[in-house]
């Protein structure tokens, strides 16, 4: 499967995918990496791997709709089967979803529907949950509300702060993303309402 990955930050989830695609029998090829800022470390990881990259800064566009369109067009140019948000911290708009709905996935560092949004790790920690985790889901027009593909639990330890907990979640996210993408590439998936099934 041809995959475009979108990043905003350090790109450790992207790196896990880059490492997985290095083996010929992993059924996913990353065809490009995009970001919402040209200095995202994830882009440097992609360039190091010899992959095409693109960046679209929201503030470079007078209207969000133009940014949304530019992002969608940059992704579409690589004819992806799937677009994966790996720490992409912007909400895409209706233009993007019109082109990629049903095949745009996001990894969130909490067990949705608990703790959606920008601070899922901190919110879980502040709430005092003993178990949190990560969620891979199909993005819809809401904020972290789309149909769930895969989840995995992560213990919260008394000594945890946001960083230590997030690092432990990210280690699980890396495994969940690589494993689930492989299943999707091999078997496809269907989305009926809120239910996703991988045959
Ligand atoms: C991941 O935990 C992802 O769920 C969240 O941001 C983190 C991305 O980390 N949205 P990285 O940029 O891949 O290191």
Q: What confidence tier does 100 reach under pLDDT thresholds 50, 70, 90?
A: very high
In 3D, which of 128, 8, 108 has the Cα closest to residue 58?
8
Span 145-159, pLDDT tens digits = 999 999 999 999 999
Half-sphere exposure of 51 (CA within 13 A, CB side): 26
Span 65-95, pLDDT tens digits = 999 999 999 999 999 999 999 999 999 999 9
Span 103-138, pLDDT tens digits = 999 999 999 999 999 999 999 999 999 999 999 999
Q: Is 3 annotated as a binding residue?
A: no
Catalytic residue among 61, 63, 108, 187: 108
In 3D, which of 128, 137, 134 has the Cα closest to residue 85?
137
Which ligand 1 atom is nearest residue 15's CA? 13
∠ Cα 172 141 46 (to 5°) = 45
What length is written for the chain?
199
> What's the CA gap between 82 and 23, in Å, rounded?
19
Note the pLDDT of residue 51: 98
Note the pLDDT of residue 166: 98
- Can you read off the two tokens belonging to residue 177? 């993303």
Q: What is the 9 CA–ligand 1 centroid distance (Å)?
A: 7
Active site residue 48: no
Note the pLDDT of residue 193: 86
Note the pLDDT of residue 103: 94
Q: Is 106 annotated as a binding residue?
A: yes
- Closest CA to ligand 1's atom 5: 87
> What's the CA gap between 57 and 38, in Å, rounded?
8
Residues with CB under 6 A from ligand 1: 7, 9-14, 86-87, 107-109, 170, 173
pLDDT at residue 199 is higher than 90: no
Q: What is the DSSP string of 18-30?
A: HHHHTSTTSS-EE
The pTM of the full predicted model, rounded to 2 decimals, is: 0.96
In 3D, which of 27, 25, 3 has the Cα closest to residue 13?
3
Task: Kindly report the average pLDDT of the chain as a whole number.
Answer: 97
């Amino acid at each position: 499967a041809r995959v475009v990955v979108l990043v905003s930050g350090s790109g450790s989830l992207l790196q896990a995918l880059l490492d997985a695609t290095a083996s010929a029998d992993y059924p996913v090829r990353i065809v490009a990496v995009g970001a919402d800022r040209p200095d995202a470390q994830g882009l440097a990881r992609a360039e190091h791997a010899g992959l095409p990259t693109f960046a679209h800064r929201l503030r470079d566009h007078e209207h969000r709709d133009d940014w949304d369109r530019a992002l969608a067009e940059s992704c579409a140019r690589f004819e992806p089967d799937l677009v994966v948000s790996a720490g992409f911290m912007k909400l895409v708009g209706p233009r993007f979803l019109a082109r990629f709905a049903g095949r745009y996935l996001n990894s969130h560092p909490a067990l949705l529907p608990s703790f959606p949004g920008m601070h899922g790790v901190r919110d879980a920690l502040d709430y005092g949950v003993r178990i949190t985790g990560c969620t891979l889901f199909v993005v819809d027009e809401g904020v972290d509300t789309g149909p769930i593909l895969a989840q995995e639990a992560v213990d919260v330890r008394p000594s945890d702060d946001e960083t230590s907990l997030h690092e432990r979640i990210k280690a699980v996210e890396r495994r969940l993303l690589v494993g689930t993408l492989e299943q999707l590439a091999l078997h496809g998936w269907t989305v009926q309402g809120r239910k996703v099934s991988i045959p």
